[in-house]
Amino acid sequence: MRILVVEDERRLCNIIKRGLIEEGYAVDSAYDGEDGGYLAESTPYDLIILDIMLPKKDGIEVCQELRKKKVNIPILMLTARDTVEDRIKGLDAGADDYLVKPFAFNELLARIRALLRREGRSKTPRLQVGDLIMDTLTREVWYGERNIELTSKEYVVLEYFMRHPNMVITRTMLEEHAWDYDFDSVSNLIDVYIRRLRRKIDENSKTSLIQTVRGAGYRLRES
Partner 1 sequence: MFFRSIKFRLTIWYLVVLGVLLLIFATIAYLMLSNSLYQSIDDSLKLGAANMGNFLEMEGSGADFDNDGQFDFGEQPLELMLFYDTGGNLVLEQGWGVNADNPQIIALITQDLSDGSLYTTEVLNGREMRLYAVPIEDELAINGVLVVGRSTAEVKDVLENFGYILLFTSLAMIVLAGGCGLFLANRAFKPVEKISRTAREIEETDLSKRIDVHSEDELGRLASTLNQMISRLERAFGRQRQFTADASHELRTPLAIIQAESTLSLRKERKESDYRKSLELISRETAHMATLIDKLLFLARADSGKEQLNLEVVNLKSLITDLASEIEVLCRDKGLKFKIGPLENLDVEGDKVELRQLFSNLLDNAVRYTPRGGTISVSVERQKDTAVIVITDSGIGIPEEHIGHIFERFYRVDKARSRADGGTGLGLSICQHITKKHGGRIEVESQVGKGSTFSVSLPLSQKS
Residues that bind partner 1 (CB under 8 A): 8-12, 15-16, 18-19, 22, 31, 53, 55, 80-81, 101-106, 108
For the chain, the C-alpha Rg in angstroms (whole number) is: 18
**Cβ 89 to partner 1, closest distance in Å?**
14
**Cβ 118 to partner 1, closest distance in Å?**
23
Q: Are 36 and 42 in contact (CB under 8 A)?
A: no
Q: Measured between alpha carbons, how far is 80 from 44 in angstroms, rounded to an integer?
A: 27
Residue (19 or 125) nearer to partner 1, CB? 19
Q: Are 143 and 201 in contact (CB under 8 A)?
A: yes
Q: Are 69 and 27 in contact (CB under 8 A)?
A: no
Query: Parallel, antiparallel, or unpaired: how do β-strands 126-129 and 132-135 relate?
Result: antiparallel
Residue (84 or 104) nearer to partner 1, CB? 104
Query: Parallel, antiparallel, or unpaired: how do β-strands 146-148 and 26-30 relate?
Result: unpaired
Q: Are 95 and 137 in contact (CB under 8 A)?
A: no
**Cβ 96 to partner 1, closest distance in Å?**
20
E-strand spans in 14-96?
26-30, 47-51, 75-79
Residue (99 or 174) nearer to partner 1, CB? 99
**Cβ 53 to partner 1, closest distance in Å?**
6
**Cβ 151 to partner 1, closest distance in Å?**
16
Q: Measured between alpha carbons, how far is 154 from 162 in angstroms, rounded to an integer?
A: 12
Residue (16 or 169) nearer to partner 1, CB? 16
Residue (99 or 178) nearer to partner 1, CB? 99
